């Protein structure tokens, strides 16, 4: 008797569901992507209990006839991929034909669809066809998925909390809205509005609907292209940061993708403009011939492989650096507009009318936002005249004149536009960094003999690494020799090492070479080394400097290639406009001569 048997189709679908349907967000993803592929211009997603009880997706796409409505739940049934050649030029979001079969096998599904001439209602429970009936003729499709994982209790048990499941869905819907600004999306949970876009095709307005007007006002429009790739999108100024990489959104031909290397390249583009553990908000759409990418890597279709990937990474990196290098990146201190309370208070019900200013930023609880609040915020955002910064000639740091210092740390400067606070350590660190970086890039082999040579005892593997890098150490201006077993001695050091910190800097250099051996890059090593040495060379907080020294520091900073950030990404200067100062002292709107 044969041991090997063909697996039951429902069982096979349940197994496939383990990869395709991991959580509620997976269901939303597959259903909404089907709606997009159907040519929809409006897609509504309604959730009950974050999708654990019910997920309903309604679109106005092309709809299906009766036979297709039944067949679409069969495994590997698809209208998007007909032969092997199509696999190399995929233009749709879905194509495997696995999603609906997998979803239907672990839930209760009701499908209502019509192509405008024929309406059909299909009901499936746990992968079994229950009924097929005529439906109404509203063109489009409505699919309701209830009681997800009801017949796979182990998977149901491992669903996250309602808040976490809702967060996953919201994050994905936000990204989907950004990838298709020409589609009107709405997302509700238990009747509460979470996301609503207008589908007018304006990416910047869609970003505003997702992240708010305050973020949009601090974005730069970017564009780059070569023979294979065209890149368009928006990046935030370095002052806008998040704690994780989730907000660096990359789209390829309108498809949301996750690529670790692309995220690294985008983040590297901000190097020296922000702290290493903070990340920007970026929305980039990469247009490329479908034959140059492979999206058939994983069932989720979010992983992707590129041909000519190195050219793409260079294009993205240079595009971001070019955009940032041109801008005046001094952060402007945020002074919130005062909320004006109307004196007309209704005593009978104690209602207070609040007049909200035009530029107020709202932080909304996504679970509890009321419909009236949502409409108000939406209307305010539409009224806002969004001006995004575009590529122009390079903006220089403005002239400013020091007048004093606070806490021995922050230099107070002024000009006709307002007041500036300069961090004296961060500013000097930037100046020293650029000096050291230049000397590392163009070494002159100028060195000084050490009165007391430094000896380092190393492990055998560390000694091998250092010995391999003897030529690089000598190129920097060190005289280094072997000294017994697994030991080296430093007899001379380069002239640019700061006096009094030679020992600390040399030890750090040796540690860096050992630490970065696995992915050693002279470019990155020089950068890290310059930042470390510059920090050691710089004046500290509470170091007293004269007014003449302040003026010299301001002048040196203005001559830097990037005067706006220290090498670790912290701002060197913060700006308070005259208007902001007047608001702080309640002088705005009054005669400020009083």
Where are the domains positioned within the chain?
9-196, 218-325, 398-594
Whole-Å CA distances, 316 to 61, 285, 311, 554: 35, 11, 9, 33
What is the fold, at CATH topology level, of the domain defined by 9-196?
Heat Shock Protein 90 (3.30.565)
Q: Name the one residue in this structure whose structure tokens are 């990204």.
A: 175
Tens-digit pLDDT profile for residues 368-414 = 333 433 443 444 444 455 556 555 567 789 999 999 999 889 999 99
- Give yes or no for residue 198 having a pLDDT over 60: yes
- Give yes or no for residue 95 having a pLDDT over 90: no
- d(CA 35, CA 101) in angstroms, rounded, equals 16
- Give yes or no for residue 298 having a pLDDT over 50: no
pLDDT at position 342, please? 45
Q: Confirm whether pTM is higher than 0.75.
A: no
Closest to 284 measured CA to CA, from 310, 308, 250: 250
- Give the number of C-alpha atoms closer than 13 A to the C-alpha of residue 107, restricted to the C-beta side: 29
- Give yes or no for residue 589 having a pLDDT over 80: no
3-state secondary structure of 369: coil
Residue 50 per-residue DSSP state: G
Percent of the chain residues topping a pLDDT of 70: 78
Most confident of 179-188, 350-359, 477-486, 532-541: 179-188
Q: Which CATH architecture fits 398-594?
A: 2-Layer Sandwich (3.30)
What is the fold, at CATH topology level, of the domain defined by 218-325?
Ribosomal Protein S5; domain 2 (3.30.230)
Whole-Å CA distances, 334 to 337, 356, 357, 385, 580: 9, 17, 15, 19, 8
- Tell me how crowded residue 76 is: count the other CB atoms within 10 A of its CB: 10
**CB under 8 Å, gap of 24 or more: what pairs does 521-527 form?**
522/472, 526/437, 526/440, 526/441, 527/271, 527/272, 527/437, 527/567
Mean pLDDT of the chain: 80
Higher pLDDT, 51 or 358: 51
Tens-digit pLDDT profile for residues 442-455 = 766 678 898 889 89
Same fold, 218-325 and 398-594: no
- Strand segments, DSSP code E, in 394-472 are 401-406, 410-415, 418-423, 447-457
Q: Name the one residue in this structure whose structure tokens are 């207008």.
A: 198
């Amino acid at each position: 008797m044969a041991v090997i048997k063909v697996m039951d189709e429902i069982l096979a679908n349940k197994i496939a569901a383990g990869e395709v349907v991991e959580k509620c967000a997976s269901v939303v993803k597959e259903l909404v992507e089907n709606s997009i592929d159907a040519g929809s211009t409006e897609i509504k997603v309604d959730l009950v209990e974050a999708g654990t009880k019910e997920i309903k997706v309604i679109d106005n796409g092309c709809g299906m006839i009766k036979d297709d409505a039944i067949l679409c739940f069969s495994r590997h049934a698809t209208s998007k991929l007909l032969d092997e050649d199509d696999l190399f030029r995929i233009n749709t979001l879905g194509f495997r034909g696995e999603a609906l079969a997998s979803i239907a096998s672990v839930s209760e599904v009701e499908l209502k669809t019509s192509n405008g001439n024929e309406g059909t209602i299909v009901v499936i429970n746990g992968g079994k066809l229950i009924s097929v009936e005529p439906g109404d003729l509203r063109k489009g499709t409505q699919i309701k998925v209830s009681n997800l994982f009801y017949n796979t209790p182990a998977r149901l048990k491992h669903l996250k909390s309602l808040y976490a499941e809702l967060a996953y869905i919201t994050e994905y819907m936000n990204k989907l809205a950004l990838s298709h600004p020409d589609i009107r999306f709405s997302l509700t949970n238990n009747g509460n509005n979470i996301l609503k876009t207008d589908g007018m095709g304006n990416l910047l307005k869609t970003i505003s609907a997702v992240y708010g007007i305050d973020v949009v006002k601090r974005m730069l429009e970017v564009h780059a292209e070569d023979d294979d790739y065209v890149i368009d999108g928006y990046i935030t100024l370095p002052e806008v940061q998040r704690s994780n990489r989730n907000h660096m959104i990359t789209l390829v031909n309108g498809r949301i993708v996750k690529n670790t290397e692309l995220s690294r390249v985008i983040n590297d583009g901000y190097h020296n403009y922000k702290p290493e553990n903070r990340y920007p908000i970026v929305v980039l759409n990469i247009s490329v011939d479908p034959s140059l990418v492979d999206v058939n890597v994983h069932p989720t279709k979010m992983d992707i492989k590129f041909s000519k990937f190195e050219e793409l990474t260079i294009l993205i990196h240079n595009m971001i650096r070019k955009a940032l290098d041109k801008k005046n990146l001094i952060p402007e201190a945020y002074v919130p507009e005062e909320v004006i309370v109307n004196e007309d208070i209704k005593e009978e019900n104690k209602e207070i009318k609040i007049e909200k200013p035009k530029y107020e930023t709202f932080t909304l609880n996504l679970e509890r936002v009321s419909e009236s609040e949502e409409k108000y915020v939406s209307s305010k955002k539409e009224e806002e005249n969004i001006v995004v910064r575009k590529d122009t000639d390079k903006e220089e740091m403005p002239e400013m004149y020091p007048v004093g210092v606070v806490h021995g740390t922050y230099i107070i400067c002024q000009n006709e536009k307002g007041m500036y606070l300069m961090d004296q350590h961060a500013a000097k660190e930037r100046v020293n960094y650029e000096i050291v970086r230049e000397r590392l890039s163009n070494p002159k082999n100028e060195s000084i003999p050490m009165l007391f040579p430094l000896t380092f005892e190393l492990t055998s593997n560390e000694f091998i690494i250092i010995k391999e890098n003897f030529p690089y150490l000598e190129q920097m201006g060190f005289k280094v020799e072997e000294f017994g077993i697994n030991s080296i001695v430093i007899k001379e050091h380069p002239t640019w090492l700061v006096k009094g910190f030679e020992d600390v800097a040399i030890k750090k250099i040796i540690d860096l070479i050992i630490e970065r051996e696995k992915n050693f890059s002279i470019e990155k090593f020089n950068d890290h080394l310059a930042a470390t040495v510059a920090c050691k060379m710089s004046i500290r907080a509470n170091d007293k400097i004269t007014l003449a020294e302040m003026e010299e520091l301001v002048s040196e900073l203005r001559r830097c290639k990037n005067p706006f950030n220290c090498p670790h990404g912290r701002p060197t200067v913060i700006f308070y406009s005259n208007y902001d100062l007047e608001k702080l002292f309640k002088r705005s709107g009054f005669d400020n001569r009083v």
